[in-house]
Chains A and B, each alone.
Chain A
Amino acid sequence: MNELLTQSLTYIRSFGIIGNIFLILLQIVVVFVAALLHVAYATYWERKVIAHMQLRLGPREVGPYGLFQPFADGIKLFFKEDIIPATADKPIFYLAPVIFFVSALTSLAVLPFFDGFVVADINVGLLFLLAMSSLGAYGIVMSGWSSGSKYSFLGGLRSASQVISYEIAMGLSLVGVMIMSGSLNLSEIVRGQHAITTGVYAIPQVLGFFVFVVAMFAETNRLPFDLPEAESELVAGYFTEYSGFRFAMFFLGEYTGMLIMSSVGTICFLGGWTLPQFVTNALPFLLFVPGIVWFLMKVYCFMFFYYWVRATLPRYRYDQLMAIGWKVLIPIALVNIVFTGTMKIMGWF
């Protein structure tokens, strides 16, 4: 299966630039549709997991086992009235959800889903991802600023400071990965992991992995760090005033963001589409399973962890959030960088 796909890709590429453009468009469509379907069912899966963790049943009514619930929700959102507050700064109000959603979707371009399948195989992939997640913060800040509502404003401010603080920790936690693989290209990072004994960077980079996972929750505004949209205090935070399709854009953007963070975690720490070599040496038949399966399984583990933590932990206080970010995560990440750098210079990695 892997060979077949690689061969057909090479065949289409042989048509020169037209073949390449066709291939890229095809890839974009596939990635876009697959990602949006994943987002739709991520909401369904989240509701199911959290419901069962709280001894409830979750959606059951639309379709068998409520499987069509995401589509029912989507259709409902499309037909909702689009309300714009009178005090809103309209151009920015219109622009904010688009920026948020587009920046989330753009990140999909650089993710290698399996060997050779990446829309844009650029050499600064990891930096690009960090840049896009920062750009998403602009959407949040702008929506909070332009809504003309106190709740939105507070949510936007909180989100800005939270995302900026945790972006530092996240970037620093990934520096260890960059040092070990010697590349910012995500495919190269996966290949670098495949080459080492453990097969995943999560084991030599355990500190970095820990910092990344915590920062991942904060970056995507998920519990226990969902202060920008704290329901009990801020109604819905920065998107309080949004309704209908504009709300759906924030919603989709948030879940796409979760998928992307899960994918980044999978690619940088859990070996992407590969299995560790000692596993495939012991069980060679696993090599016949396409890489996308391993990739998705790892991503789903991250997604499940998101839901699991959401069902377990209460929200942190705002000063606790900042204290964890600046006083714990950033020092740990710096120690990790020093440690990894020393090991690299000594030649042990």
Chain B
Amino acid sequence: MKSPLIKTVFFTEILKGLSLTFRTLFRPAVTRRYPKVKPVVAAGFRGLHALSKDDEGKLKCVGCGLCGAYCPSQCIHIYTNEGDDNKKIVERYEIDILRCIFCGFCVEACPFGAISLSEHYEYSNYSRAEFYMTKEKLLENWDRYFAGEKGKRYYREFWRPLSADMHGHEGQAMFSKIPDAIRSGGKK
């Protein structure tokens, strides 16, 4: 079977190819039947956004605007106002999901771990308006995907802000209003 003439006459190469395809016929397919069999999403997957709530169920976001400033596709819009007791309140927090590239920079930028990305990725819809996330919808997402222990665990493991580890010396100017619980990342 070495001579090229014999190879040509008996089609050894074609026969090799045929035997390969025939053996492949009996190997299991690699197809994932997606809508029926969902893939396992790794923890920390960057999916739909959610606005975190603290232990009392209130918005963690302080309206500093770092996420919006960092956002490469500029799809985060924050509107703040002065509240009754002269505190800064976040009036509107909106994300245009259709412009988002899911880079996760907003999560990294946030000093409070107030914005997070959930593992939910199936949210196709019929109208563009559905993809414009308001503060209420983002808070709802939190209840849906991060309620309870899961949110705390994800805070510890995936979007714990660097500022949480910062401990200044006595008298140093810091984000003085940050409660110890947040600063230590709920570790205690």
Binding site for B on A (CB under 8 A): 49, 51-57, 60, 308-309, 311-313
**Docked-complex contact A60 and B33, CB < 8 angstroms:** yes
Interface size on B, residues (CB 8 A): 15
Select one of A52, A57, A312 contacting B14, CB under 8 A: A312
* Distance between Cα atoms of A308 and B22 in the complex (Å): 8
Beyond contacts A55-B28, A312-B20: 18 other A-B pairs, Cβ-Cβ < 8 A, are A49-B25, A51-B29, A52-B25, A52-B29, A53-B25, A54-B24, A55-B24, A55-B27, A55-B29, A55-B30, A56-B30, A57-B29, A57-B33, A308-B18, A311-B21, A312-B14, A312-B21, A313-B14
**Docked-complex contact A312 and B29, CB < 8 angstroms:** no
A interface majority secondary structure: helix
* Distance between Cα atoms of A54 and B30 in the complex (Å): 9
- B20-60 interface mask toward A, CB cutoff 8 Å, 1 = contact, 0 = none? 11101111111101000000000000000000000000000
**Interface assignment of B186: CB less than 8 Å from any CB of chain A:** no
Which B residues touch A308, using CB under 8 A? 18, 21-22
**Interface assignment of B17: CB less than 8 Å from any CB of chain A:** yes
Which residue in chain B gives the minimum CB-CB distance to A51? B29
Q: Can you list 16 A-B contacts (CB < 8 A)?
A: A52-B25, A53-B22, A53-B24, A53-B25, A55-B27, A55-B28, A55-B30, A56-B29, A56-B31, A57-B33, A308-B21, A308-B22, A311-B21, A312-B17, A312-B18, A312-B20
* Distance between Cα atoms of A198 and B17 in the complex (Å): 30
Which residue in chain A gives the minimum CB-CB distance to B27? A55
**Docked-complex contact A53 and B21, CB < 8 angstroms:** yes
**Docked-complex contact B17 and A313, CB < 8 angstroms:** yes
**Closest chain A CB from B152 CB (angstroms):** 41
**Closest chain A CB from B21 CB (angstroms):** 5
Which B residues touch A51, using CB under 8 A? 29
**Docked-complex contact B31 and A57, CB < 8 angstroms:** yes
The 5 closest A-B pairs by CB, nearest first: A57-B31, A312-B21, A312-B17, A53-B21, A57-B29
Which B residues touch A55, using CB under 8 A? 24, 27-31
* Distance between Cα atoms of A170 and B33 in the complex (Å): 44
**Closest chain A CB from B95 CB (angstroms):** 35
Which B residues touch A312, using CB under 8 A? 14, 17-18, 20-21
* Distance between Cα atoms of A56 and B14 in the complex (Å): 22
**Docked-complex contact A309 and B18, CB < 8 angstroms:** yes
Which residue in chain B gives the minimum CB-CB distance to A49? B25
Which residue in chain A gives the minimum CB-CB distance to B32? A57
Which B residues touch A57, using CB under 8 A? 29, 31, 33
Which residue in chain A gives the minimum CB-CB distance to B20? A312
- B167-179 interface mask toward A, CB cutoff 8 Å, 1 = contact, 0 = none? 0000000000000
Which A residues touch B20, using CB under 8 A? 312
Which A residues touch B28, using CB under 8 A? 55
**Closest chain A CB from B98 CB (angstroms):** 29
**Closest chain B CB from A53 CB (angstroms):** 5
Which B residues touch A60, using CB under 8 A? 33
* Distance between Cα atoms of A228 and B20 in the complex (Å): 27
Which B residues touch A311, using CB under 8 A? 21
* Distance between Cα atoms of A53 and B26 in the complex (Å): 8
**Closest chain B CB from A240 CB (angstroms):** 29
Which B residues touch A56, using CB under 8 A? 29-31
Which A residues touch B27, using CB under 8 A? 55
Contacting residues of chain B (95-151) with chain A, CB-CB under 8 angstroms: none
Which A residues touch B33, using CB under 8 A? 57, 60
**Closest chain A CB from B3 CB (angstroms):** 18
* Distance between Cα atoms of A60 and B34 in the complex (Å): 12
Interface centre among A53, A308, A309, A313 (most CB of B within 10 A): A53
* Distance between Cα atoms of A49 and B17 in the complex (Å): 15
Which A residues touch B14, using CB under 8 A? 312-313
* Distance between Cα atoms of A57 and B27 in the complex (Å): 11
* Distance between Cα atoms of A133 and B164 in the complex (Å): 81
**Closest chain A CB from B32 CB (angstroms):** 10
* Distance between Cα atoms of A60 and B27 in the complex (Å): 17
* Distance between Cα atoms of A308 and B14 in the complex (Å): 11
Which A residues touch B25, using CB under 8 A? 49, 52-53
* Distance between Cα atoms of A309 and B17 in the complex (Å): 9
Interface centre among B18, B21, B30 (most CB of A within 10 A): B21
Select one of B17, B18, B24 contacting A52, CB under 8 A: B24
**Closest chain B CB from A280 CB (angstroms):** 29
Which residue in chain A gives the minimum CB-CB distance to B26? A52
Which A residues touch B24, using CB under 8 A? 52-55
